[in-house]
Amino acid sequence: MAQTSHGVGGLTYDAKKRSWPAEFNVFLALVILVAIFEAIGRIFLGDSFLFNTRSDVAGIFNEARLQIIILQVSIVGIIAIGVTQVIISGGIDLSSGSIVGATAMIAMSFAQVATVNGNPNPKAMFLAQGLTDLPVIVPLLVAIGCGLLAGLVNGALIAYTRIPPFIATLGMMVTARGIAKWWSKGQPISFPTDSFAAIGKGLMPVIIFLSLAVLFQLIMTYTRYGKHCYAIGSNEDAARMSGIKIANHKILVYVIAGILAALAAVVLSSKNLTAQAGMGVMYELDAIAMAVIGGVSLSGGRGSIIGTVIGALIFGVIISGFTFLRLDAYYQEMVKGVIIVGAVVLDQWRQRLRALRA
């Protein structure tokens, strides 16, 4: 038996029996879910969910499906990264979906071409002002500015007026959606430059999502910022008494969430080659669901970006699984609702269970 004393005071404990990380349970859930779809597929459809069954395509796995699973959650996944650090620090952000809408509209209008098929671009917002064919950095900076501003308002409201995050971000949710509709009076904004269109092409959303996930996992684990997120979410009074500047930190948390939502807007509108006022509706709930499924506790202080990424994959598997089983899209929506509530119930159980085991 490998008994080692890692602690102080000479107390021994079995290093092998360390409780496994919570992410492992989430990963297990993912594996089980895939296995269920695989089994149902084999039994009822005579087809494989995960593996390649076609002889004209090479490879062991059904790569097209794997790509779809992750591609369809990448954009909301980017938002979920921001939402995760918000929830860990004890808050909630309901505005991210609307920030996507407003940012997509505003940023896209600085990414348009001047001419389409030799004619002036009929959808160009700023054709008369000559603000067309701009370098891609312009819409990108505009987007980041939008996200930053929205996050700043959220954060300042929450930090200084002390209204609950739920209410503050609900206000932003409604306002930002209004801005999205007002911006072009409901008209879609289309025909982006090639360089803007390249941002969301092919597997780019996946690459962007995973790079940001790695970056933020590192930030949450190894930086002072991450440590303070967990501290504030865990015990805000203790954090305050320990000298953490709560207001500044909260503002930064919501600013980062806003910027990530804005980046998601850029990727989404680039991928779709158009921006519409209704973009991103309900994304905030999907993002929160991904985090909660991934083990992020709604009461704050617990969870990780890795968990959220796995949560996003579970989300993707469920959606793809339903398509695979040829079930209607209506069922997807219904099941999504059940999953969100189920994940929260699970979170509550987990907390009670922890208390019992102690």
Partner 1 sequence: MSDIVLKTENLTKRYGGVHALEGANFELRKGEHVAIMGDNGAGKSTFVRQITAVEQRTSGQIWFDGKEVNFNGPIEAREAGIETVFQNLALADDLDVPSNLFLGREKVLFNLGPFSILDRKYMRKATEAALVRTAVKIPNLSNTIRHMSGGQRQCVAIARTATFASKLIIMDEPTAALGVQETAQVENIIRTLKDNGEPLILISHNMRQVFDLCDRIVVFRRGRIVANLRKQDTDGQDIVSYITGAKTGEAELAA
Beta carbon of residue 129, minimum distance to partner 1 (angstroms, whole number): 37
- Which residue lies nearer to partner 1 by CB, 86 or 102? 86
- Which residue lies nearer to partner 1 by CB, 2 or 60? 2
**Side chain identity at residue 43, one-letter code:** I
Helix-helix angle 224-234:246-272, to 10 degrees: 110
Query: 330, exposed or middle or buried, with CB in 10 Å at 0-12, 13-18, 19+?
Result: exposed
How many chain residues bind partner 1 (CB under 8 A)?
37
CA of 165: how far to CAs of 15, 87, 95, 197, 225, in Å? Answer: 40, 10, 10, 35, 19
Stretch that binds partner 1, among 115-123, 226-234, 262-270, 326-334 (CB under 8 A): 226-234
∠ CA 146-147-153, nearest 5°, is: 90
**Other Cβ atoms closer than 10 A to 220:** 21
Rounded to an integer, what distance in angstroms lies between the CA atom of residue 162 and that of residue 160? 5
Q: In sequence order, what are the beta bridge partners of 344?
A: none
Convert residues 245-274 into a mask of x (bound to partner 1 by CB under 8 A) and - (unbound).
Answer: x---x--x----------------------
**Other Cβ atoms closer than 10 A to 240:** 14
Whether 301 and 220 have beta carbons less than 8 Å apart is answered as no
Asked if 243 is part of the footprint of partner 1 (rule: CB under 8 A), the reply reads yes
Asked if 51 is part of the footprint of partner 1 (rule: CB under 8 A), the reply reads no
Stretch that binds partner 1, among 43-51, 104-112, 201-209, 244-252 (CB under 8 A): 244-252
Asked if 13 is part of the footprint of partner 1 (rule: CB under 8 A), the reply reads yes
Asked if 18 is part of the footprint of partner 1 (rule: CB under 8 A), the reply reads yes
Nearest to 310 by CA among 85, 80, 90: 80
Pairing assessment for the beta strands 3-4 and 119-120 based on DSSP bridges:
unpaired
Convert residues 284-313 into a mask of x (bound to partner 1 by CB under 8 A) and - (unbound).
Answer: -----------------xx-----------
According to CB under 8 A, which one of 1, 2, 9, 60 is a site residue for partner 1? 9
- Which residue lies nearer to partner 1 by CB, 23 or 286? 23
Beta carbon of residue 183, minimum distance to partner 1 (angstroms, whole number): 32
Rounded to an integer, what distance in angstroms lies between the CA atom of residue 151 and that of residue 83? 12
Asked if 54 is part of the footprint of partner 1 (rule: CB under 8 A), the reply reads no
Rounded to an integer, what distance in angstroms lies between the CA atom of residue 211 and that of residue 178? 32
Beta carbon of residue 251, minimum distance to partner 1 (angstroms, whole number): 11
According to CB under 8 A, which one of 53, 67, 242, 348 is a site residue for partner 1? 242
Beta carbon of residue 230, minimum distance to partner 1 (angstroms, whole number): 6
- Which residue lies nearer to partner 1 by CB, 67 or 242? 242
| Element of type H or E holding 189 | strand 189-190
Stretch that binds partner 1, among 21-29, 49-57, 75-83, 225-233 (CB under 8 A): 225-233
Beta carbon of residue 145, minimum distance to partner 1 (angstroms, whole number): 20
DSSP 62-113: -HHHHHHHHHHHHHHHHHHHHHHHHHHTT-----HHHHHHHHHHHHHTTSB-
Which of the residues 84 through 123 are near partner 1 (CB under 8 A)? none
Asked if 219 is part of the footprint of partner 1 (rule: CB under 8 A), the reply reads yes
**Other Cβ atoms closer than 10 A to 258:** 30
Whether 96 and 265 have beta carbons less than 8 Å apart is answered as no
Asked if 227 is part of the footprint of partner 1 (rule: CB under 8 A), the reply reads yes
Q: Where on the chain is the footprint of partner 1 (CB under 8 A)? A: 5-13, 18, 219, 222-225, 227-228, 230-231, 233-235, 237-245, 249, 252, 301-302, 354, 358
